[in-house]
Structure 1
Amino acid sequence: MDEISPSSLKTILHSKRANIYYLEYCRLLVNGGRVEYVTDAGKKRLYWNVPIANTTTLLLGPGTSITQAAVRELAKAGVMIGFCAGGGTPLFAGTSGVADFYWLSPQSEYRPTEYVQGWMSFWFDDVRRLQAAKAFQVMRYDKIAMTWRAPGLQKVGFRPDRDALDGLLRESKRAVQAMPDTQSLLTEEARITKALFRMAASAVSYGNFIRSRDGDASDPANRFLDHGNYLAYGLGATALWVLGIPHGFAVLHGKTRRGGLVFDVADLVKDALIMPQAFISAMRGDDETAFRNACTDTLIKNQALDFMIDAVKAISSEFKVTIQNP
């Protein structure tokens, strides 16, 4: 079989790719020029193809191994690889409930420079960086307002109080614009997130809900929130890789925090898309696989990766500092 060139593998834009894969108890290798994963069924070995040219993120769970040749082919196709524990939660999660990122980014010297140059031109300016963080929050609120009202969510039993939702988002938008620094903005983010949790729980008649940051296995909504958030992190990491912006240059989650920008970008869709699905699946009695499938369908239907990429491009362009030559 003729070797497939990297350029031919990248003909499908990342924002148009359809798949996030989670694999466990298998081995990834190259077989006949294709990346496949192998599972054992008694004395048989079963081979399944991974359509790498149409894949954005690959999560490798427990019991997996991957060959150097498979990593090479995945890198050619620009696939983000993440190692995680069962259910899609990364193995090396911090005790505070915030993950340390162990993503393997494809190596490429040919990613665009326009967006990282725009990003870096404003990032060292505290005022502009705060303005960018506020812009992210406004985009996040607009996404929540649009998706939480969607007829599809109404049909599956997610019915938030629209007046309360509109009032909450309107009030927080005003508060965000008045915030003098990043710490104040983080405080407001925590406040509205708690309010959204209460509203989402009420929207499905879930009862009392307390967000647990230590992986509370007894509460399905908490488990699903952790699980779904890591899918959003994978998309956020992919969006930044596509645009060539390093993960450490956060605008809200701390200048010194590794991977902070991934959190900023993932927040654009976490509350809007993951949170409703977590409560819907918890009420429905879904298992981890059913929830993960529902999440990936939701992310694809709502063009989450497109939205992330466009948001980062807009921020990079809007706050770019033009340096005048003397």
Structure 2
Amino acid sequence: MASVSRRNALTPRQLTRTGERLSFIYLERCTVHRDANAITAEDAEGTTHIPSATIGTLLLGPGTRITHQAMSVLGETGAAVAWVGEQGVRYYAGGRALTRSSALAEAQAVQWANVRTRLSVARAMYRLRFPDVDPEGLTRKGLLGCEGRRVKDCYRAEAARTGIRWRGRKYIPGDFAAGDAVNQAITAAAQCMYGVAHAVVSSLGCSPALGFVHSGHELSFVLDIADLYKTEIGIPLAFDVAAESDEDVASRTRRALRDRINETSLLNRCVDDIKQLLLQGDMGEATSGDRDVVTLQSDGGRAVAAGRNYGDTVAGTGESEEMLW
């Protein structure tokens, strides 16, 4: 039997697509190991097997230990891994997810590098969030003002719908318990959405740092994408959970959000939204997750095959008869 280190890497066609995976799984106070092509979570109550190829993001909370072999299979199957705080409300670090094509990363960089196209993508994001508002012609300040008013309106509307007394949004970093039940639920939902957005952004090969609304942070684009679904999914769900009970708000919010994400096929939608925003309608073959192609940049915007020695090119072809590796 071949050792793990000698197994061939999975090709993109063998991997489960991002939109078909579970949104996230949260583990705490257990040891995560590998059993064949699955991971196992072992605690005092026993061992649970989890098919790694079906995971979007694995959230590792306090008290978790993960082995090298477990990380190996998660890397092979393209699952994102994030180390988070208790109840999943703080993000500490993350591991890379699957991506073979640079098409979306290049499209993101092109759109971000130009001031006009960067603003254009930001306006497109606001159209997705608030379809009844036309942001065309709005400045950055105007977009921020529009968002602030709409989010406040959403809080008031959800409070009226659920009968919760709303005293305003309050969150003290590092002190999750300081807020009331609905604020804790909103925070828990937001952190989970950040994890889901991070998994999708990474799996598509985009840069988490190049944001169009947010800026200056390593997760700016992740925050942009998570906010697309804040007033539609995150905030209403948080108010629903808080209206049911004040007990165990964080974990109930995570479970409810997980179910809502699966019910609404949010991962598929998130993938499509990112492609639409960055490609501006050009959903070409270059963005296929099945691509496993490396090329070299040549003159005139032309790409040539990698792995060849161009020190002595064949006349008229620009290609070499000699392989580089």
Q: Fold match, TM over 0.5?
A: yes
CA distance in 2, matches of 1:257, 1:185: 19
Give the counterpart letter for 2:72 in structure 1.
Answer: R
Equivalent position SS for 1:208: coil
> Structure 2 matches for 1:115-130, cutoff 5 A?
115-130=104-119
- Per-residue CA deviations over 1:206-242 (Å, capped at 9, x if unaligned) read 1223111213544111111111111111111111112
Candidates 38, 43, 63, aligned match of 2:42 = 38
Residue 8 of structure 1: how far off its partner (Å): 6.8
> Structure 2 matches for 1:1-326, cutoff 5 A?
6-7=9-10, 10-31=14-35, 34-41=38-45, 46-90=46-90, 92=92, 102-106=93-97, 111-142=100-131, 170=132, 173-174=133-134, 176-180=135-139, 182-214=140-172, 215=176, 217-254=178-215, 256-285=216-245, 287=248, 288-318=250-280
Give the counterpart letter for 2:10 in structure 1.
Answer: S
CA distance in 2, matches of 1:117, 1:222: 38
CA distance in 1, matches of 2:162, 2:32: 40
Residue 281 of structure 1: how far off its partner (Å): 0.7
**Equivalent position of 1:152 in the other structure:** none
Give the counterpart letter for 2:20 in structure 1.
Answer: K
Residue 61 of structure 1: how far off its partner (Å): 0.9
The answer to whether the Cα contact below 8 Å between 1:28 and 1:65 also exists between their aligned partners in 2 is yes
CA distance in 2, matches of 1:29, 1:197: 42
- Per-residue CA deviations over 1:79-108 (Å, capped at 9, x if unaligned) read 11111122111155xxxxxxxxx22223x6
Give the counterpart letter for 2:210 in structure 1.
Answer: F
CA distance in 1, matches of 2:264, 2:27: 24
- Per-residue CA deviations over 1:253-284 (Å, capped at 9, x if unaligned) read 01x22210000011111221111111011010
The answer to whether the Cα contact below 8 Å between 2:23 and 2:261 also exists between their aligned partners in 1 is no
Residue 130 of structure 1: how far off its partner (Å): 0.6
Query: Structure 2 length as normaliser, TM-score?
Result: 0.78
Higher helix share goes to which structure?
Answer: 1
Equivalent position SS for 1:296: helix
Count of residue pairs the alignment pairs up: 275
Give the counterpart letter for 1:303 in structure 2.
Answer: S
Superposed CA RMSD in Å reads 2.3
The answer to whether the Cα contact below 8 Å between 1:28 and 1:36 also exists between their aligned partners in 2 is yes
CA distance in 1, matches of 2:9, 2:208: 24
Query: Structure 1 length as normaliser, TM-score?
Result: 0.78
**Equivalent position of 1:158 in the other structure:** none
- In the alignment, structure 1 segments of 5+ residues that lack a partner are 93-101, 143-169
Residue 15 of structure 1: how far off its partner (Å): 0.6
CA distance in 1, matches of 2:36, 2:20: 27
Give the counterpart letter for 2:171 in structure 1.
Answer: R
Distance 1:253 1:13, change over 3 A: same
The answer to whether the Cα contact below 8 Å between 2:15 and 2:77 also exists between their aligned partners in 1 is no
Residue 187 of structure 1: how far off its partner (Å): 3.0
CA distance in 2, matches of 1:262, 1:91: 12
Give the counterpart letter for 2:149 in structure 1.
Answer: R
The answer to whether the Cα contact below 8 Å between 1:59 and 1:83 also exists between their aligned partners in 2 is yes
- Per-residue CA deviations over 1:180-214 (Å, capped at 9, x if unaligned) read 2x343223222221121111111111122311121
> Greater Rg, structure 1 or structure 2?
2
CA distance in 1, matches of 2:18, 2:144: 30
The answer to whether the Cα contact below 8 Å between 2:33 and 2:41 also exists between their aligned partners in 1 is yes
CA distance in 2, matches of 1:183, 1:83: 34
CA distance in 1, matches of 2:9, 2:178: 42
